[in-house]
Amino acid sequence: MITRRLLAAGFAGLAFAPAGRAQTAWPTRPVRVLVGFPAGGPTDLVARLLQEPLQRLWNQPVVVENRPGASQIIATEAVARAAPDGYTLLLGASIHATNAATHARLPYDTIEDFTFIAVLYGSPTVLLVPQESPLRTLEDLIAAARRNPGMSFATSGNSTSGHFATEMFARALQLEVTHVPFRGAAPALQEVVSGRIAATFSTLSGAMGLVQQGRLRALAVADAQRSPALPGVPTLAERGIHIPNTSPWYSFMGPRGMPREVVERIARDSLMLMRSPAIVERIEATGGTVIAEGPEEFALRIRREVEEARQMARLIGLAPAG
């Protein structure tokens, strides 16, 4: 459940313009929101949840545009190159930080080329297998992976939270696994459901529907706590497997140099909506948790998590050479 303290912390980061100060006339035309993954995944989920209520607040169309590929880099580069007027935004994931740790060169500067507006929600990473799989428990999966080196693990792409969780899980248990990246959570999960891929570390928000439909089985949560949405599923730590937290978060970002009034307006309106009962209920039903951090907190978070991701990448061999 969302707490008053958590929500207060999210809004504390917003410094609103004083009364009487001239305000930017925004928006006066449609706002584009780019999503770096296909429809149906956890990033797309929150974009669609916010689309209609933001249109009502802004009295302008909000156009959600999915631009999957290259682990969100394609959509992120498009936003970095856009005019900093608030009409092109990225609804992105924490892969923004991990991309900086796993790529020697990116077509943008991870920190300097962006305006960090608001962190919206987060969701735990979960280990999943097909419902028809003979692997009923975490111990079953580990034993099978030891008997048959090279077990396939799908993820929503290189550098994603699932990729990091897969590599750290394998390293912790000295397993040989095969990472199979896809262009988003939805296609990765479908391959696991079909049985063509043995397992996946995936964001619970993207997988919850398939778990509830009885098409996927959750074996473990790769987070510090059990998920309230899956109270009977143990954490990896409960089974003696300790890996750094890889649970992703989802956020609004824009190009560097956006007017402060526009940044504050987007942050204020999106965070207000994220604490509305209807959206809180929907996010929690998928296993997610509303975070609601404003611009200042988000800017601190991204710098901290880029450094943490670089340390993890070096540890598990995902850091670029040189």
pLDDT at 321: 77
**Mean pLDDT over residues 190-195, rounded?**
98
Report CA-CA distances (Å) from 239 to 23, 174, 234, 321. Answer: 55, 15, 8, 34
Report CA-CA distances (Å) from 247 to 54, 221, 223. Answer: 26, 10, 7
Task: Kindly report, residue by residue over 249-261, the tens digit of the pLDDT.
Answer: 999 999 999 999 9
Angle, helices 204-212/42-58, rounded to nearest 10 degrees: 110
Q: Is the per-residue pLDDT at 123 higher than 50?
A: yes
Integer Cα distance of 266 and 16 in angstroms? 11
pTM: 0.89
Task: Kindly report, residue by residue over 170-181, the tens digit of the pLDDT.
Answer: 999 999 999 999
Integer Cα distance of 280 and 217 in angstroms? 25
Nearest in space to 173 (alpha carbons), one of 213, 136, 138: 138
Answer yes or no: are the C-beta atoms of 262 and 269 closer than 8 Å.
no
**Domain at 4-14+30-123+248-316, CATH class:** alpha beta
Report CA-CA distances (Å) from 248 to 118, 207, 222, 309. Answer: 14, 14, 11, 12
Residue 210 banded pLDDT, cuts 50, 70, 90: very high
Q: What is the DSSP-derived secondary structure letter of residue 235? A: B
Residue 308, judged by CB atoms within 10 A of its CB (0-12, 13-18, 19+), counts as middle
Domains 4-14+30-123+248-316 and 125-239 share a fold: yes
Q: What are the two backbone dihedrals, phi and then psi, of residue 72, each rounded to the nearest 5 degrees? A: 80, -5
Residue 5 banded pLDDT, cuts 50, 70, 90: very low
* Architecture (CATH level 2) of domain 125-239: 3-Layer(aba) Sandwich (3.40)
Q: Where are the domains of the chain?
A: 4-14+30-123+248-316, 125-239
